[in-house]
Structure 1
Amino acid sequence: MKITVLGAGVVGVTTAYQLAKAGHAVTVIDRQAGPALETSFANAGQVSFGYCGPWAAPGIPMKALKWLFEEHAPLIIRPKPDWAMLSWLIKMLANCSTERYAVNKGRMLRLSDFSRTALAEVRAETGIAYDSGMKGTVQLFRKEEQVEAMAKDVKALAADGVPYEVLDADGCIRIEPALAHVRHKIKGGLLTPTDETGDCFKFTNALAEKAQALGVVFQYGTVVKDFIISAGKLEAVVTDKGQQQADAVVHCLGSFSPFLLKRLGMKLPVYPVKGYSLTIPITDPSRAPVSTVMDESYKIAITRLGDRIRVGGMAEISGFTTDLPAARRRTLEHSVSDLFPGGDLSKASFWSGLRPMTPDGTPVIGATPIKGLYLNTGHGTLGWTMSCGSARHITQVIGGQTTDLAAEDYAIARYN
């Protein structure tokens, strides 16, 4: 088949690679000058197969009210007259029940575990290098109530057969020795040992080269304008450089996915949740993390990427702005310097990106009511984590194969 993939972030590139491996003729269209130049550029560096769950969780509404008055809040809302924002927030709040949290976390763990195997196979068959690490994530608790709240996550991990280890302060230091400097600040932790780390930008660019070797054509600097539909079937993509005929189109445009679909009468509840990161050169390895430490108090991940530390996190609901407020940088600096003091923050690079989030935290993967149009979007903070599994699944769906992943509840139909 002749297939067009919209978007050259990590989800689009992994999709193109899997489709090309399956024998399809693939073209990727992206408005940027190369792959992974938006959300995939400087994310937190986590590949979180075990540490994954929806932001919509029990207690979040009350916490959000409290966070309004905190300097280093993990969730920031900048209200504006935007119906899409209000609608998304209402849907997100509706998913904050215990029952919905269990369903949504189960979905996310199922896809993440599937993606873990898919990523391992991609790594084995390509040999690409991207500052990868395989030493897991330590979710670090500074408060007793965080330790107590861990029970619901442990229950979900156990139900899905995901390995984990409950840690006390000494256990956290055993996994991450540099935390010995701040032992008095640690109440406990949760280790998910199958989690990985790495530079998503490097991974995506290296995989794009492998995809090109398989015949994938990348059209950079090209803006998608519309679709041509005939008798309920997608016939072509309209760009600022002309039409692109296709037997199938896979829509991987992240936070910008709803705009084109709205023209087709489809309502996709994906909204940008802005995240921030710092990338800091390591000056003293004894005071740097070995893998990833997730600071649960601030929802900030501190990750080792070779000779750098990537500090990423926060969730800001503010529309499509990518500005860099000094207050957000101070929160990242506070978290990393409080747990791993001694780094040279003056040499850090500061970045922000828009994560495409659904109200329930689960991505939208699968066919649409329009024949030939498929979705692979809405992965939120877990785009890289879920990318290889999502790409394999959508490739099997397009090919009419029996899918390896039970994923009928990932498609856009769940919102109808």
Structure 2
Amino acid sequence: MRVIVLGAGLLGVTSAYYLQQLGHEVTVIDRQATPAAETSFANGGQISVSHAEPWANPGAPLKVLQWLGKEDAPLLFRIRADMRQWLWGLQFLRECTPARTRHNIEQIVRLGTYSRDTLQQLRRDTGLAYDQRTQGILHFYTTQKEFDAALAPAEQMRALGCDRRVISADEAVKLEPALAHIRPQLAGATYTAEDESGDANRFARELVKLAETAGVRFLMSHTVTALREAGGAIDHVEATDSEGRFQRIRGDAFVLAMGSLSPLYAAPLGIRLPIYPAKGYSVTMPVKDASRAHQVSLTDDEFKLVFSRYTSASGDRLRIAGTAELNGYDRDLNRVRCEAIVRRVEQLFPGAGEASEAQFWTGLRPATPSNVPLIGATRLPNLFLNTGHGTLGWTHACGSGKSIARIVSGLKPEVDFAFTGLRAAAQSPAVKTVSTPV
């Protein structure tokens, strides 16, 4: 089949790669000049199955209320006259029950574990290099309350096959000596040895090279203006190139992987996607003192920050990313939030990074209220979704890409996950053998 993938971020690129592997003729369309230039450009870098507790959990409503109006809050709802934001917020509250949280953790862990395994297999098969580190991920806690709240989710993750081990503060410092500076503040930690980190943008660019060599066509600097329906299916995509020339691009199947823009393109087709942009921030700075900088990828759950380290020919860098601001499609850098991240880094690892050379970035994460992404079929038999991954696009990229490729091909996904719309899709000619996992 001719498959058109809309979006050349991590999810679009992995979808295209695995679709080509299954024998399809694939074209990818993206408005940017280079792949992974938006949300996938400077994310936190973690392949973090252990980061499976959704934002929507029993403790979230009180925290959100406490953080309202605080410019440096880890999760900031900036209230707007925006019905989509209000509806998303109500759905978010419904996902905060203990039962829903347990269900969502289960989905996120299953997909995450499968995706991590898929990435590792891809690396073995192709030799891809992207500043990866396979030293695990350490979640650390500087308050007893936060540490205690992490114990039950960690236990559930272990039961699901994610070996997120609870360890003492001393064990955490032994694993990551850079934490010695804050040893008196550490209440405890968890450690997942199989988790990884790496430069997501570099990964995407390297995978594009492999995909192009295999025959995937990339139409970069092409802005999609509409998806056109005819006869109950998508007939073509309308787009303009960098010089404003209009094009109609036809295919047999279409994969919507446009991140936070996905609901804007789906809505005219009568498809309502519960996705809202959550603006995340990152700081990248050169390593100043290697002895003070972390080696293991870290997660500071209290401040909603993740820490990675990239060592390559271009230099030794620290990447710190996180927080979330729900403020529509605003992309402006908020200096208060940027400086709050740098301040936290200096508190934890004083002198580790060259703060005076810090580079700030922001991107819009496509967040669902549950943090469970939308992967699968729609009511239109040839339109498929691979979007809504929130903070876990890098963690879930390979597993999601391989799964949607199988769904488009009429094959059953290899992971037990709550894929979207598969019962309806099973009745269409394009997808013949899929079923909805429990």
What is aligned with 1:251?
256
1:288 partnered with 2:327:
no
* Distance in 2, Cα, partners of 1:22 & 1:69: 49
What is aligned with 1:381?
391
What is aligned with 1:317?
326
What is aligned with 1:332?
341
What is aligned with 2:368?
358
1:189 partnered with 2:199:
no
What is aligned with 1:392?
402
* Distance in 2, Cα, partners of 1:413 & 1:150: 36
The structural deviation recorded for 1:195 is: 1.1
* Distance in 2, Cα, partners of 1:381 & 1:180: 28
The structural deviation recorded for 1:48 is: 0.6
1:168 partnered with 2:168:
yes
What is aligned with 1:305?
310
Contact 1:57-1:95 at 8 Å conserved across structures: yes
The structural deviation recorded for 1:70 is: 5.0
1:45 partnered with 2:45:
yes
The structural deviation recorded for 1:339 is: 0.9
The structural deviation recorded for 1:151 is: 2.1
* Distance in 1, Cα, partners of 2:72 & 2:129: 35
CA spacing shift, 1:411–1:254, aligned 2, 3 Å: farther
CA spacing shift, 1:264–1:292, aligned 2, 3 Å: same
* Distance in 2, Cα, partners of 1:265 & 1:71: 36
Contact 1:39-1:353 at 8 Å conserved across structures: yes
* Distance in 1, Cα, partners of 2:81 & 2:202: 38
What is aligned with 2:198?
198
The structural deviation recorded for 1:354 is: 0.3
Q: Report matched runs for 1:74-153 at 5 Å.
A: 74-153=74-153
The structural deviation recorded for 1:355 is: 0.3
Give the residue type in structure 1 aligned to 2:342. Answer: E
Contact 1:52-1:105 at 8 Å conserved across structures: yes
The structural deviation recorded for 1:410 is: 4.1
CA spacing shift, 1:228–1:67, aligned 2, 3 Å: closer
Give the residue type in structure 1 aligned to 2:360. Answer: F
Contact 1:51-1:137 at 8 Å conserved across structures: no
Give the residue type in structure 2 aligned to 1:243. Answer: R
1:273 partnered with 2:274:
no
Per the alignment, in what secondary structure is the counterpart of residue 353 of structure 1?
strand
The structural deviation recorded for 1:161 is: 1.4
Contact 2:297-2:306 at 8 Å conserved across structures: yes
1:370 partnered with 2:380:
yes
The structural deviation recorded for 1:59 is: 1.3
Give TM-score scaled by structure 2 length.
Answer: 0.92
* More off after superposition, 187-196 vs 222-231: 222-231
Q: Which runs of 5+ in 1 are unaligned?
A: none
Per the alignment, in what secondary structure is the counterpart of residue 291 of structure 2?
helix
Q: Which runs of 5+ in 2 are unaligned?
A: 241-245, 425-438
What is aligned with 1:158?
158
Per the alignment, in what secondary structure is the counterpart of residue 171 of structure 1?
helix
The structural deviation recorded for 1:86 is: 0.8
CA spacing shift, 1:34–1:69, aligned 2, 3 Å: closer
Give the residue type in structure 2 aligned to 1:348. Answer: A
Q: Deviations over 1:71-128 (max 9, x none)?
A: 6421112111111111111101110010000001100000001101110111112212
* Distance in 2, Cα, partners of 1:390 & 1:76: 28
What count of residue pairs does the alignment treat as equivalent?
414
Contact 2:68-2:78 at 8 Å conserved across structures: no
What is aligned with 1:348?
358
What is aligned with 1:62?
62
* Distance in 2, Cα, partners of 1:404 & 1:145: 38
CA RMSD of aligned residues (A): 1.4
* Distance in 2, Cα, partners of 1:413 & 1:281: 50
* Distance in 1, Cα, partners of 2:47 & 2:419: 23
Contact 2:57-2:101 at 8 Å conserved across structures: yes
* Distance in 1, Cα, partners of 2:153 & 2:163: 12
Per the alignment, in what secondary structure is the counterpart of residue 116 of structure 1?
helix
* Distance in 1, Cα, partners of 2:274 & 2:364: 15
Contact 2:376-2:419 at 8 Å conserved across structures: no
Q: Deviations over 1:346-388 (max 9, x none)?
A: 0110000000000111000001110110000000000011010
